[in-house]
Structure 1
């Protein structure tokens, strides 16, 4: 009898211990994406993997589009001549973001391996372009392969982003051969691009007199950097004007977000779709303007307010994984890479520059932790929404494809990684990291100057 009682007591005690252990374990959060402080070395590794993937995408030559063979005789014109295929051969707005990011990484890391790609690409363009320009009358097509409408710009997409990166490259290497294309871009954006009566840059597609949020990035970084290049404040003024006037059509104060587009026909009752990358283009544009404009420049305070309000809204809309959604206010749409990287960069940039509070640090860090999971071992960036028109129904936005071939994600991921490195190395901030296997642990960003020295 005594043995039975002792056995029962022992079983009860063991069971209680098991239950207690299970209760403790069940109270420890399980994170699908690591909830921990990234390392600078790991971020550098990711940036270099993307760089190598980019570099290996094309040999940057002129080829026969029918045979794929390189053209070596440039005395007579080959009607099939096009730039070689590949991401790093493109004269495109997505490539412009990559090259701007490479130039920025050069400043952050001092690693010439990134910026050397800018010089190589733009030298390739200016050395090869005369072959097409001299034979323009023989070319009976609108686009020249991956160089698009380089002989005759029709839209902001054709020139704004890629030429903004060209200015940044010129300011470092001073290759005067770049100035022809820079000035052609200026002529298009400042004089030829369609504008509304109030001067807002616009398109007549897909609806008559349409304003796209995307066009803020397709124009404003060029304008603000043209101001740096020429020291003519008319470019600063136009950049400020575009941000504020596009906001007057697209910014929804209640949501603190930008509608993807607006057109004159629907006016005040235009349907609203808060597409992630459109808001990313806006926030990155504002970050670039705020970085360059003098502190008390007219309109800067209004832009800073828009930037801060967007950050506040985005912090609330971030998914528990660290990602943001393709439709920001629809948490049953998919989590998307390019907008997540854009917001991560712009928020980290704001902390580093003192535009927003350091308390937003965990938003940026978790954004990066999510973003880096989309970078494959070979450097390809996955999970990016394909190119997207200004649409008028949720079904379209919900079903946009995503892949490694949507090159809109590469530049933003590069930018985000560089800015997170700056954040981790920010000597004004103390970062208290999370503790592994803890029931209650989060990041705390502390502003050193707020605390007593002892």
Structure 2
């Protein structure tokens, strides 16, 4: 009898403790990524850490590829001469995104140190490019180190993104030495790059007559900025055509997303893979076009619809951590940094420009909080998917590597940070912040003009 009473007392005691726990700590959400309100100064710190990491990646010299020694005598040609290794020495599309982001940050915050890198890099290229150009017949390979095919553009990757950043840099420093490279890039994109019969920019890899979503960013930002530079609307028209015609091949209305690629032989039955970064390239391209095109320009409304529909779909696909998955519709693929940054930028940009509703604010905010966890103390950006071809099987996409050396994430993170600063400082919006350690509290972005004045 005594044992029975003791057992009953023990059960009641444990039950009361469990009930007490459930009524307090157990009911407070445990977030994977801090569910907190970001501060502008903290975002600036992230941007500066990335900038310093970038600057320290290379001394921007010409070196002997076999010995590593710097070349200082340019009177005779060294067949082993290459640009020094390092992110800040590359003539690459990923570096183009960083330089465009630096130019954008220059407009957002009062800090010259970002844009100074643009002039420094392009001056470095133009100072040394003639050394390779005049000795072109002595170079027995297609690529020159990290400058790739700079002597002979073969693809949009070779010139489009970094060419767009070059135009943006020229628009501020007006250095006429830049015009030769700008004109060469124009020649390639407008005249030499392969196109389908309808004028859509395309590649003959990996399949014959293939359209890649990535190529929207490798061409459209250059074209739209060339239109600004020259005041010739033929570049605007081509930019609009590329967005809408690529969408006709790649946009899947039911999913409100872009397939990574399409090729003519698979036609209407092309297999669909919703790769994160491909959709990020598309949204960033659309944001650039929408920022520049006049309000009633032909085709702008259709692009705005695509932009809005993609953001609606992506908001629903965001993981509870704030990240997006490498394959957007496959929740067992890893959480990826570059596409998360691209979507965060595009959503924050859309709110700031009035293209989408302010109610999407928490999607951008939680996206930024997620990104923040991937920027290491030294400024390296981790968790970015490696360079990825247009593939035709899930297994390939599932197993793409990710690292700090996949430089595709740096520019988008810089862009996302700059746009989040704009969003947090947007005087048209009031932000109701979530309470820390509350059982039921979230962020609300309110449009001030909607509410009655007191």
Rounded to whole Å, the distance in 1 between the matches of 2:152 and 2:14 is 80
State how many pairs are aligned.
448
Unaligned runs of 5+ in 2: none
What corresponds to 2:449 in structure 1? 449
- What whole-Å deviation, never above 9, does each CA across 1:18-48 have from its counterpart, x for those lacking one? 7324422111100010111100011000000
What's the TM-score, normalizing by structure 1? 0.97
Output the aligned Cα RMSD: 1.5
- What whole-Å deviation, never above 9, does each CA across 1:202-241 have from its counterpart, x for those lacking one? 0000000000000000000000000011010000000000
Rounded to whole Å, the distance in 2 between the matches of 1:320 and 1:17 is 30
What's the TM-score, normalizing by structure 2? 0.97
What corresponds to 2:402 in structure 1? 402
Rounded to whole Å, the distance in 1 between the matches of 2:342 and 2:217 is 12
What corresponds to 1:298 in structure 2? 298
What corresponds to 2:361 in structure 1? 361
Q: How does 1:194-343 map to 2 (within 5 A)?
A: 194-343=194-343
SS of match in other structure, 2:23? helix
**Runs of 4+ displaced beyond 4 Å:** 8-15
- What whole-Å deviation, never above 9, does each CA across 1:351-372 have from its counterpart, x for those lacking one? 0000000000000000000011
Rounded to whole Å, the distance in 2 between the matches of 1:401 and 1:9 is 56
- What whole-Å deviation, never above 9, does each CA across 1:345-396 have from its counterpart, x for those lacking one? 0000000000000000000000000011000000000000000000000000
Q: Rate the CA distance shift 1:275–1:10 in 2: closer, same or farther, 3 A.
A: closer
Q: Rate the CA distance shift 1:17–1:184 in 2: closer, same or farther, 3 A.
A: same
- What whole-Å deviation, never above 9, does each CA across 1:164-222 have from its counterpart, x for those lacking one? 00000000000100000000000000000000000000000000000000000000000
Rounded to whole Å, the distance in 1 between the matches of 2:300 and 2:203 is 26
What corresponds to 1:424 in structure 2? 424
Rounded to whole Å, the distance in 2 between the matches of 1:29 and 1:248 is 43
What corresponds to 2:100 in structure 1? 100
SS of match in other structure, 2:430? strand
Q: Rate the CA distance shift 1:75–1:439 in 2: closer, same or farther, 3 A.
A: same
Q: How does 1:119-198 map to 2 (within 5 A)?
A: 119-198=119-198
What corresponds to 1:42 in structure 2? 42
Rounded to whole Å, the distance in 2 between the matches of 1:12 and 1:263 is 68
Cα displacement (A) at 1:9? 9.7
Rounded to whole Å, the distance in 2 between the matches of 1:440 and 1:399 is 37
Rounded to whole Å, the distance in 1 between the matches of 2:235 and 2:17 is 71
SS of match in other structure, 1:431? strand
Cα displacement (A) at 1:16? 3.6
SS of match in other structure, 1:114? coil
Rounded to whole Å, the distance in 1 between the matches of 2:14 and 2:154 is 77
SS of match in other structure, 1:211? strand
Unaligned runs of 5+ in 1: none
Q: Rate the CA distance shift 1:79–1:9 in 2: closer, same or farther, 3 A.
A: closer
What corresponds to 2:71 in structure 1? 71
Cα displacement (A) at 1:453? 1.1
- What whole-Å deviation, never above 9, does each CA across 1:79-132 have from its counterpart, x for those lacking one? 111000000000000000000000000000021000000000000001110111
- What whole-Å deviation, never above 9, does each CA across 1:297-335 have from its counterpart, x for those lacking one? 000000000000000000000000000000000000001
What corresponds to 1:375 in structure 2? 375
Cα displacement (A) at 1:10? 13
Rounded to whole Å, the distance in 1 between the matches of 2:425 and 2:201 is 38
SS of match in other structure, 1:445? strand
Rounded to whole Å, the distance in 1 between the matches of 2:39 and 2:13 is 44
SS of match in other structure, 1:430? strand
